[in-house]
Amino acid sequence: MSVAVERLLCTAAAEVGYHEKASVSGLDSKTGNPGGKNYTKYARDLDALGDVYNGKKQGHDWCDVFVDWCFLTTFGEELGMRLLCQPYKGCGAGCRYSMGYYQEKGRFHRTGPRPGDQVFFGSAASASHTGLVESVREDRVYTIEGNTKGGVQVARKSYSLSDRTILGYGRPDWALAEGAPDGQEKEDEDMLTYEQFEAYMDRHEKERAALPGSGWSEADRDWAAEKGLFRGTGGEAFAWQSFLTREQAAALFRRFAEG
């Protein structure tokens, strides 16, 4: 986990237990003036910046506002907006639009969550809720979300990775963030999955098997084929430039000893 991701998650974790307010009074208190009117310090702070959203968001659903607040509080407005892939005066307070911004930048993933991702929930029709991925262990993803636990708190939650309400994950470009080693996230994204590695290896082995034997080994190959030490892989194809496994070596040594 990069330093930047750790910083973001520390910001989010410090807010666990925050309760939305019945009015604009006591917005900085975690539990004071509790209510169900969607008043939060998160909307207050982002509204005060004046250019984050396309209008004031105080009094509206705030799960996405909470995520945005965590980014901008941790990294500042300019970098926070870049990490979120959001335009200024845009619709980033809405889950459907936030997910779309990640998709436009090619930074949205249906599977494979990582800490620091923005997770989106909903149905095929649209995203309707969001939060931050705190960790992934075995077959579960663990989150920190605002506007949850009855729609009034910041809380930790967890879900099966196969939960059908999870639409996918927006992944910030962490190489942009202060404290993240240059290119670290790029290197991670360039790494092959196991399935991709297997596919490349299979193609590589087939390509080697199709190569003809080198000129310098012609007499040796003819002798080995005549003695029956090597046998074709189909017709006259001996796959001379393929790799030799231990079990193939065992068969070769036995044939030589018995020959």
How are strands ordered across the β-sheet holding 140-148?
A: 108-109, 166-170, 118-122, 127-137, 140-148, 153-160
**Strand positions, DSSP E, the chain:** 108-109, 118-122, 127-137, 140-148, 153-160, 166-170
Q: What is the pLDDT of residues 42-99, one digit of tens each?
A: 999 999 999 999 999 999 999 999 999 999 999 999 999 999 999 999 999 999 999 9
Per CATH, domain 3-181 is 3.30.70.890 = no
Q: What is the pLDDT of residues 115-141, one digit of tens each?
A: 999 999 998 879 999 999 999 998 999
Q: Comparing 97 with 179, which gets the higher pLDDT?
A: 97
Q: What is the pLDDT of residues 199-230, one digit of tens each?
A: 777 777 777 777 777 778 888 888 888 888 87
Whose CA is closest to 71, among 11, 160, 143, 30? 11
User: In which residue ranges of the chain is CATH 3.90.1720.10 found?
Assistant: 3-181
Give the pLDDT band of residue 239 (cuts 50, 70, 90). confident
Question: What's the pLDDT at 212?
Answer: 77
Q: Which of 171-185, 192-206, 238-252 has the highest mean pLDDT?
A: 238-252
Phi/psi-derived region of residue 181, left when phi > 0, alpha when psi is between -120 and 50, beta in every other case: beta
DSSP labels, 132-157 = EEEEEETTEEEEEEEEETTTTEEEEE
Q: Comparing 187 with 224, which gets the higher pLDDT?
A: 224
Question: What's the pLDDT at 256?
Answer: 84
